[in-house]
Amino acid sequence: MQGRIVYREIKADILIIGTGAAGLRAAISAYDSGARDIIALGKCKWGDAHTILATGGINAALGTMDPKDSWMLHAADTIIDGGSIADFRYVNLMCRDAPRAVMELVKWGARFHKEPDGRVTQRFFGAATYRRACFYGDQTGKEMMRVLMAQVRKRRIRTMEDVFIVSMIASGKRVAGALAIDFFKGEIILFRAKAVVLAAGGYTKVYTRSSSRSYENQGDGAALALELGVGLVDMEMVQFHPTGMIYPKQAQGILVTEAVRGEGGLLFNAKGERFMGRYYPEKMELGPRDVVARAIYMEIKKGNGTKHGGVWLDITSMPKAKILERLPKMYRQFKEYAHVDISKQRMEVAPTAHYTMGGVDVSIKGETSIKGLYAVGETVGQVHGANRLGGNSLLETVVFGRIVGREAAALAKRQDFVEIDRKRALEEIAKVDRFFGKGGKPEDIRDEVRRAMWDHAGIARDRKTLAAGLRKIEKLERRFRAVRVRPGLKGNSDLKIAIETARMFGLCKAIMQSALMRTESRGAHYRTDYPKRDDRKWMANIVAKRSADGIKLGVRKVPTVTGPVAYYIKHRPKVEVKLLE
C-alpha cells in the first residue's frame, strides 16, 4: 500500500457486518421491510460463522411440554439468573416474541425435534423453570444457519465472504460506511452505506481458553463501535463454562457439553477427591455453571489440578453403547483430538470462556449513539445481564435481528448517503501501513494478551490482580507498537492477526477497568475481595467509552422491573437445577 492507495468503492443502502444468525436475520428483515440494496458480509466463508457451534437449543415458552410455561416466566428466569441487571424491557420483548420467532424458523423449514403428535419437543436447560429449549439434535445453530441462509438466498440478497472490516467511517455523528480488506483477492474496499449493522459476534477470544474457534469471537463488533466513540456496557460480564478440553493444545477450550455431567459424569481432582461436595453439596456436579466453574478453578489454584492444569471428568461408568447413543459428539471429539476413549478413560477438563454478556450499548431497537449504526446479537450487551441462560443467545439473534433489519430499512428509506471525506477515510486504511516491515509474529503478543486476561480477569478476580493485569495489558500495548509483518494484503494472515490484536487492547482495558470498578460479586463476575452481591450500590450497568485519555467509565442505574414480570420474579416456582443438555 505504500504510495498511492488503490481501492474499490461499493455502495449499498444497508451494510450488514456479520453473517451469523443475527446478521442473516437482520438482512432478511431489511429486505422484507422494503430495502433491496443490501450487502451482508463476513470475514470467513459464507455459512461459516460461530453460530454453527451452537448445540443445545433455542428458548421459547411454547408450553408444548409444560403448559404452565409463559413468556413472563421465561423473562423472570432470564432476569433473576442474569443477576437482575439485564434491562427488563429488552428481556420482555425477547421472551414475548420468542414463540413467534421459533415458529417462523419452523415455517421456514427448521427441523426442530418433534413429538409423535407433531408438537415441537422442548428440553430443560440450566436454571429454566420449565422445558423451553427447542433443538435439532446437538446441531441447533447449524440448522438455524441453514434455514436463514436459504431465506437470504431466496431473496437474492447480496452476500460477500472473506471480507474483513478494518474500521468504521462516520461523518460527525452519522455513520457513512466502513473500510475493509479482502485478504482473498488482496484488495481494499471502501463501503459507503446509509445504515450499517454490526453483527460481528462476541469477545471470548480475548482469553486464552475459549469455546470459540481461534479465528472468531475476537471482539471485532465491540472494538469497531468503541473506536467510533460508542459505549460498551457490562464488559466485565464474561461467562466461563466449567468444562472445556485442556489437552492437547490445539483442542484447548473446546466445549465439553453439560450433558456429560447430566448423564452422570463425575468430577475428581488429581488427588482422586470428588471435590464438588466442598462447594455445592446439594447438587454436586449439577450446580449452576458459575458455581461449578469456580469450584474447578479453586481446585486447580490450590494445586489439586492435573498435569495439564485441569481436573478429571469421568463417565466411564456408562456403557459404551449408551455413550455412543447419548454423547456421540463427545466420544468423537476426545477420540479425535486426545486419542482418549471416554468409555474407558477419564476426560481432562478445565473452565473455558464461553459467552460475553457485555457489548455494544444499544437502544431497544438496536440503535447506537451514532446515527445509522446498529448492533445486534452477541455483539451487544444488556439482554443477559450478569449471566446468560443457555438457549437465550440464539433467541436474541433472531428476535433483535428482525427489529434491527426493520429499523435499518426505515432509516435507509428516509436518509441519503452521507458525504465522506475520502482522504480522511483512506488515511484510516493507511494506518495499516504501520504494520509493514520486517516480518514478525503478531500472534506472540496476542497470546500474551490472552494469557494476561486469563490470569488477571478470569473466573475469580480481586483488586490487586486486576490492577496488575491492567498494567500488563498497557505494557503489552506499548510493546505491540514495534510489531511488524511482511508487506502485502493477499493472503496476509499475519496482517489480519496484527489488526485483530491491535483492537483487543481497548476491549481488554474496558473489561479490566469495569471489573475493577464493580466492587461486588454478581453472576459471572466474582470478586474474591468482594464476595457478596451489593444491590444497594450495584443494581447498575457500567458503560465504557473511549476518550482522549483512554477508557472512561460511567455507571447507569438498572430500570426497576414493573408490570406482570415483576409478579413472576417474586413468585417464581421453585427452580430445579436440570442440566441435562
Ligand X SMILES: Cc1cc2nc3c(=O)[nH]c(=O)nc-3n(C[C@H](O)[C@H](O)[C@H](O)COP(=O)(O)OP(=O)(O)OC[C@H]3O[C@@H](n4cnc5c(N)ncnc54)[C@H](O)[C@@H]3O)c2cc1C
Is residue 580 classed as helix, strand or coil in its secondary structure? coil
CB 167 within 8 A of CB 344: no
Closest CA to 218 of 231, 234, 207, 232: 207
**295 binds ligand X per the rule CB under 6 A:** no
- Peptide bond connecting 248 to the previous residue in cis, omega within 30 degrees of 0: yes
What is the CB neighbour count within 10 angstroms for residue 137? 14
Footprint on residues 164-193 left by ligand X (CB under 6 A): 164-165
Among 211, 239, 343, 387, binds ligand X (CB under 6 A): 211
Question: At its nearest, how many Å lie between ligand X and the CB of residue 59?
Answer: 7
Question: At its nearest, how many Å lie between ligand X and the CB of residue 308?
Answer: 20
Single out the segment in contact with ligand X by CB under 6 A; choices: 60-68, 391-399, 414-422, 428-436. 391-399
* Annotation says 261 is catalytic: yes
Helix (H) / strand (E) element for 565: namely helix 564-570
Among 7, 355, 374, 480, binds ligand X (CB under 6 A): 355
**140 binds ligand X per the rule CB under 6 A:** yes
Tell me how far apart the alpha carbons of residues 373 and 225 are, in angstroms, rounded to a whole number. 9
Single out the segment in contact with ligand X by CB under 6 A; choices: 71-79, 157-165, 419-427, 488-496. 157-165
**260 binds ligand X per the rule CB under 6 A:** no
Question: At its nearest, how many Å lie between ligand X and the CB of residue 224?
Answer: 7
Question: At its nearest, how many Å lie between ligand X and the CB of residue 256?
Answer: 10
Among 13, 81, 97, 220, binds ligand X (CB under 6 A): 220
**201 binds ligand X per the rule CB under 6 A:** yes
Nearer to ligand X, 274 or 326 (CB): 326
**49 binds ligand X per the rule CB under 6 A:** yes
* Residue type present at position 280: Y
CB 209 within 8 A of CB 254: no
Active-site entry in 131, 241, 446, 461: 241
* Annotation says 484 is catalytic: no
Tell me how far apart the alpha carbons of residues 50 and 44 are, in angstroms, rounded to a whole number. 10
Question: At its nearest, how many Å lie between ligand X and the CB of residue 515?
Answer: 21
**159 binds ligand X per the rule CB under 6 A:** no
* Residue type present at position 291: V
**141 binds ligand X per the rule CB under 6 A:** yes
Active-site entry in 25, 192, 209, 261: 261
Chain centroid to CA 168: 21
> What is the number of alpha carbons within 13 Å of residue 385 lying toward its C-beta?
29
Single out the segment in contact with ligand X by CB under 6 A; choices: 50-58, 116-124, 231-239, 360-368. 50-58
> What is the number of alpha carbons within 13 Å of residue 57 lying toward its C-beta?
27
Among 199, 238, 245, 432, binds ligand X (CB under 6 A): 199
**366 binds ligand X per the rule CB under 6 A:** no
For the stretch 568-574, contacts whose Cβ atoms lie closer than 8 Å and that sit 24 or more positions apart, written own/partner, are 568/70, 568/72, 568/73, 568/75, 568/76, 569/76, 569/79, 569/80, 572/73, 572/76, 572/77, 572/80, 572/129, 573/73, 573/129
Q: Which residues bind ligand X (CB under 6 A)?
A: 17-23, 41-44, 49-51, 53-58, 140-141, 163-165, 199-201, 211-212, 216-217, 220, 255, 355, 377-379, 390-394, 397
Write out the catalytic residue numbers. 241, 261
